[in-house]
């Protein structure tokens, strides 16, 4: 199967009005687009392309936020929406955050959804954030990427690719983006815009249905889209005529309002996790002193939606500023409010580690893990803390337990490799690294680690036989990939 990369994703908003999708060009050049029929995606191909794209983002995208608490919250929020999909549309999703000042969200093939931090912070309610995610879920479940690609001729695909690469570049280099877009064919771009209107309307319609079925306020969608549209207009001035504002956004908002009109008002209470995630992101904005000042002002003037989130954000800001004692006072305030959350438990443990109270932190994390066994953030922090304390056997036990429910999480294998290194078990260290690299999509590095495992002196006959068989399989895959790149 030929790799269908650069991958295309549907974006809710981009810096230019053409952007319901963008693309990333791979370093090894553009693929042979071929005939339209060759570009058709099966669900398996969508998943494969999505996995490769996601691996690239995790490894190479500097704005990617590797935070299990933030990404876990977003994924659970989408899971709440996805639980109300029709049986034929159900699939798994993974949602991740990117530290980016542009209001944006996008869906990639295979159920991967990216959300910019600016959008999370701009949402004034959980229903508003859910409305964006519902829209992106609909793009995925309706297979808009596959339907778009299968309706393109080769010339249109080339123009779309030039445009999409430009839109992606616009996230950080608008000057390069404009040059890339001007290289595309205006007629093909306009045709693609017309085709995408139907996708956007369909995603809006299904998104509203998902919001309502999931118990969110459906009015949040229209309100949030209006604010994002106003933000987006700032970036549209000066674009060539065929890329300037078209009636799509206005029509979409009007259509949404028509669908919502007459529905009874439903007051929905935001979850504590929504407020804590936003507070955590705000505590990371600007300098640590800026964050301290902002949360201090909120608490002093009572200008907050959630008092608990304000104290949590203040504690995070103090911790970032290197003042764990001040941070602990804010955690005490959270205890006074009788607020319980796994995010507060990890915060307390981080404060204890910062104060040099490692045994206390480990004790806190063990108790928290018993209370919240499904929270990966607690497990990862416990493993890290145990490793830093040189308690390798204990760390290994936690890793193995976490792998029971997360067998494809590359982070756990990399932590396992670090653990075996601490135990001076070279064979198992290299073997664990190989599995971690394989899950990250770095096949050649996985092969290298298995070759090192073969040379390690401490593997027994049974283990060496397993590695030999695994290595033969991966070498064959690597050869197939090299052959694909030549074609």
pLDDT digit string, tens, across residues 357-411 = 999 999 999 999 999 999 999 999 999 999 999 999 999 999 999 999 999 999 9
Contact 45/13 with Cβ under 8 angstroms? no
Query: What is the spatial distance between Cα 339 and Cα 273, in angstroms, rounded to a whole number?
Result: 11
How does pLDDT run across 302-349, given as a tens digit for each residue?
999 999 999 999 999 999 999 999 999 999 999 999 999 999 999 999
Please measure the distance between the N-terminal and C-terminal CA atoms of the chain and give it in whole angstroms: 11
Return the DSSP state at 64: B
Q: What percent of the chain has pLDDT over 90?
A: 60
Read out DSSP for 231-296? HHHTTTTT--GGGS--THHHHHHHHHHHHHTTPPP---PPPHHHHHHHHHHHHTSS-HHHHHHHHH
Please state the rounded mean pLDDT for residues 444-464. 97
Convert the pLDDT of each residue in 274-291 to its tens digit.
999 999 999 999 999 999
Average pLDDT, the chain: 82
Share of the chain above pLDDT 70, in %: 77
pLDDT over 90 at 9, yes or no: no
CA distance 314 to 333: 11
3-class secondary-structure state, position 114:
strand
Asked if 160 and 188 touch (Cβ cutoff 8 Å), the reply is: yes
The answer to whether 170 touches 101, Cβ cutoff 8 Å, is: no
Burial of 309 (0-12, 13-18, 19+ CB in 10 A): buried
Calpha distance 415→396 (Å, rounded): 9
């Amino acid at each position: 199967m030929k790799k269908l990369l650069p991958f295309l994703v549907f974006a809710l908003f981009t810096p230019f009005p053409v952007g319901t999708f963008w693309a990333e060009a791979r370093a090894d050049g553009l693929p042979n687009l071929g005939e339209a029929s060759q570009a058709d995606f099966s669900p398996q191909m969508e998943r494969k392309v999505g996995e490769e794209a996601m691996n690239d983002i995790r490894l190479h995208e500097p704005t990617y936020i590797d935070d299990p608490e933030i990404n876990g919250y977003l994924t659970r929020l989408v899971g709440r929406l996805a639980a109300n999909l029709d049986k034929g549309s159900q699939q798994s999703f993974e949602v991740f955050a990117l530290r980016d000042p542009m209001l944006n969200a996008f869906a990639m093939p295979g159920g991967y959804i990216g959300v910019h931090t600016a959008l999370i912070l701009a949402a004034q309610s959980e229903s508003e954030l859910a409305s964006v995610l519902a829209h992106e879920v609909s793009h995925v479940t309706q297979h808009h990427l596959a339907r778009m690609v299968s309706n393109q001729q080769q010339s249109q695909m080339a123009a779309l690719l030039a445009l999409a690469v430009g839109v992606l570049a616009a996230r950080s280099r608008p000057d390069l983006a404009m040059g890339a877009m001007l290289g595309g064919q205006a007629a093909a771009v306009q045709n693609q815009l017309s085709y995408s209107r139907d996708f956007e309307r369909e995603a809006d319609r299904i998104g509203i249905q998902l919001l309502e079925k999931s118990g969110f306020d459906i009015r949040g969608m229209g309100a949030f889209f209006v604010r994002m549209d106003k933000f987006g207009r700032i970036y549209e001035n000066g674009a060539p005529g065929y890329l300037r504002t078209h009636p799509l956004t206005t029509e979409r908002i009007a259509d949404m309002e028509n669908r919502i009109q007459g529905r009874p008002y439903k007051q929905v209470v935001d979850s504590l996790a929504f407020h804590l995630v936003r507070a955590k992101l705000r505590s990371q904005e600007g300098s640590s002193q800026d964050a301290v000042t902002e949360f201090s002002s909120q608490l002093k003037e009572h200008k907050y939606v959630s008092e608990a989130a304000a104290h949590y954000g203040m504690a995070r800001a103090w911790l970032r500023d290197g003042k764990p004692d001040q941070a602990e006072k804010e955690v005490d305030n959270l205890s006074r409010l009788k607020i319980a959350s796994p995010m507060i438990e990890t915060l307390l443990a981080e404060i204890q580690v910062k104060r040099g109270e490692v045994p206390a932190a480990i004790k806190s994390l063990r108790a928290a893990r018993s209370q919240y066994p499904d929270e990966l953030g607690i497990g990862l922090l416990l493993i890290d803390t145990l490793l830093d304390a040189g308690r390798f056997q204990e760390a290994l036990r936690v890793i193995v337990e976490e792998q029971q429910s997360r067998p494809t999480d590359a982070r756990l294998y990399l932590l396992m490799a670090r653990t075996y290194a601490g135990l001076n078990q070279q064979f198992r260290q290299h073997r664990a690294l190989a599995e971690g690299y394989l899950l990250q999509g770095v096949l050649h590095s996985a092969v290298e680690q298995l070759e090192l495992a073969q040379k390690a002196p401490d593997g027994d006959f049974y283990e060496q036989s397993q590695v030999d068989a695994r290595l033969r399989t991966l070498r064959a895959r690597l050869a197939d990939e090299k052959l694909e790149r030549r074609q």
